[in-house]
Amino acid sequence: MRILILEDDPLIALDLQDTVEDEGHEVVATCASIAAARARLAEPIDFALLDVDVTDGKSFDIAAALLCRGIPFAFVSGSRRDELPAHLASAAFVEKPFFPAAVIRTLPAPLRAA
């Protein structure tokens, strides 16, 4: 599975990358900003992990773009779930600090490592 990570804290981004790579998946991009993530949306992506608050705003537009393309995603954030807009309220959500197993559980079942 090809995964996009949107996370502006380099240590957290590395933890997320290690978590999904340990499950056998490929991180196609680790982006620290919405602008950088938007530029990578044209690439083949199977899943995304999104922080809500990054350097240049909230990731809601990226999440909406993923929804429109039918690409599953999960928020991994220190924000509260109730801060999500209504159209994103049912998205998978992992609170920071996170356990790797919680992130892995957000992966679509057919895409989890065997």
* pLDDT, tens digit, 9 for 90 and up, residues 7-31: 999 999 999 999 999 999 999 999 9
What is the pTM (predicted TM-score) of this model? 0.94
Please give the full DSSP string across 46-114, using - where no structure is assigned.
SEEEE-SEETTEETHHHHHHHHHHT--EEEEESS-GGGS-GGGTTSEEEESS--HHHHHHHS-GGGS--
Q: What is the per-residue pLDDT across 63-102, written as a single tens digit (0 to 9) for each?
A: 999 999 999 999 999 999 999 999 999 999 999 999 999 9
Pairing of strands 57-58, 53-54: antiparallel
Structure confidence at residue 108 as a pLDDT band (50, 70, 90):
confident
Domain 2-109 class, CATH top level = alpha beta
Provide the pLDDT for residue 7.
98
Provide the pLDDT for residue 114.
45
